[in-house]
């Protein structure tokens, strides 16, 4: 069995469930692509696709990522390329949606500053650093 996510990668998973799922799905896809490099699309490659799918499905179930968490792996011998291709497309859609929602959420809490305001802030920060470095914290 090949590893689609390493123990080291698992230790570094984000706390946010959606971000953790995106990380695992992306990592598993990268490991799949590396495993398939130079191989023909035939039955000998099915084990790599199965490993990818089981890794992503496990993550989807743990992090409750719908609708991926409702999928199930085909029985060995009943699998075919089209099944895995559709699953990868579904995961890609789900990952893209989660990334877009995360970007939208992050933008909600950010503020856009115009050039004069940025300049004033840079000046104030430089002034504060100068005072900190010289030890002159008074007015």
Is 105 within the bounds of a domain? yes
Q: Which domain holds residue 66?
A: 7-110
Is 124 within the bounds of a domain? no
Is 1 within the bounds of a domain? no
Is 82 within the bounds of a domain? yes
pLDDT digit string, tens, across residues 72-117: 888 887 778 888 899 999 999 999 999 999 888 877 666 777 788 8
> What domain count does the chain have?
1
Is 127 within the bounds of a domain? no
pLDDT digit string, tens, across residues 11-66: 999 999 999 999 999 999 999 999 888 776 665 788 899 999 999 999 999 999 98
Is 65 within the bounds of a domain? yes
Is 133 within the bounds of a domain? no
DSSP string, the chain: ---SS-HHHHHT--SSHHHHHHHHHHHHHHHHHHHHTT--SSGGGHHHHHHHHHHHHHHHHHTT-TTGGG--PPPTTS--HHHHHHHHHHHHHHHHHHHHHHHHHHHHT-----HHHHHHHHHHHHHHHHHHHHT----
Is 103 within the bounds of a domain? yes
């Amino acid at each position: 069995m090949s590893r689609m996510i390493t123990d080291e990668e698992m230790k570094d998973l984000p706390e946010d469930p959606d971000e953790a799922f995106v990380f695992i799905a992306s990592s598993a896809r990268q490991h799949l692509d590396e495993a398939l490099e130079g191989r023909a699309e035939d039955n000998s490659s099915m084990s790599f696709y199965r490993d990818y799918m089981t890794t992503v499905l496990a993550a989807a179930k743990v992090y409750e990522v719908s609708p991926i968490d409702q999928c199930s792996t085909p029985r060995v011998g009943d699998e075919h390329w089209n099944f895995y291709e559709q699953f990868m497309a579904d995961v890609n859609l789900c990952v893209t949606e989660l990334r877009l929602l995360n970007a939208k959420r992050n933008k909600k809490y950010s503020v856009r500053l115009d050039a004069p305001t940025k300049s004033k802030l840079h000046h104030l920060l430089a002034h504060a650093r100068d005072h900190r470095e010289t030890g002159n914290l008074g007015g």
